[in-house]
Structure 1
Amino acid sequence: MTARLIIQLAGLLGALSVGIGAFGAHGLRAMLTATNRLETFETAVRYQFYHVLALLAIGILYQVRPELRGLGTVAWLWLGGMLIFSGSLYVLCLTGITKLGAITPIGGLLLIAGWVMVFVVAMRQL
């Protein structure tokens, strides 16, 4: 993954995070509160946004230091983690399909693996 693509994804996912958060807060609040899913939805948005900001930082670092190839792996891990972790929680909240909750930890593991990869890159290449 290139630095440019990482930064573009961060911008796109950042906008999406704000939009999803606003939609949840204003358009879905009554439904999510009635189903006791508001806190779950907010967790999904929060984790997505944290990783969007981290993705942006990684993209900028990769632009400045393109030799840090492991940062592309970090980006892929975080992208997959956001899609699976936050995505499964969004679907759970909006549809009530609780079976999707079984894949949420896989997304969490991908997010963790991305952070471990940041550590590895720092140990080996910085």
Structure 2
Amino acid sequence: MMKAFIILGAINGFLAVALGAFGAHGLEPRLTERMMDVWEKGVDYQMFHTMGLFIVAFAANKWPGVSAIKWSGIMMFIGIILFSGSLYALSTSGIAKLGMITPLGGISFLAGWILLAVAAAKGK
């Protein structure tokens, strides 16, 4: 499990940096200031939760067998897809209804952090 979350963290770290650079150099001239802020919010939260995936990986090594750790990482990854992904799609398409997906990603992030706390409480 540790290996999977390190791989997911590394891939998402790469993507966050690449998407941040793409936004700054490729999209900035094409997007409104508001939509650029939306893009950047997606990049920020992707990177924050990339670090969360690394924390989950190391917690999985420290407390093997605590299932809340696995679910914490899964929820953070789902959050990245739903939250950041919906913000990327919203900012580039302008389809406002995509913003309805974003809170589901936020809830996934919250669940991931709570599950990490539960795992730490259960770990020995």
TM class by smaller structure: over 0.9
Decide whether the 8 Å contact of 1:71 with 1:118 is kept in 2: yes
**Overall identity of the aligned pairs, in %:** 35
Q: Which runs of 5+ in 2 are unaligned?
A: none
Once the two structures are TM-superposed, the CA of residue 36 in structure 1 deviates from its matched residue by: 2.4
The TM-score with structure 2 as length reference comes to: 0.93
2:66 aligns to what SS in structure 1? coil
Once the two structures are TM-superposed, the CA of residue 35 in structure 1 deviates from its matched residue by: 5.8
Give the one of 38, 41, 55 matched to 1:40. 38
Residues 57-110 of structure 1, C-alpha deviation per residue, up to 9 Å, x if partnerless? 211221233233321100100000110000000000011111110111010000
Instruction: Name the counterpart of 1:14.
Output: 13
Aligned Cα root-mean-square deviation (Å)? 1.3
Instruction: Name the counterpart of 2:104.
Output: 106
2:95 equivalent to 1:93: no
Measured at CA, do residues 40 and 23 of structure 1 come closer, stay the same or move farther in structure 2, by a change above 3 Å? same
- Aligned residue pairs total 124
Q: Which runs of 5+ in 1 are unaligned?
A: none
2:19 equivalent to 1:31: no
Give the one of 69, 72, 85 matched to 1:71. 69
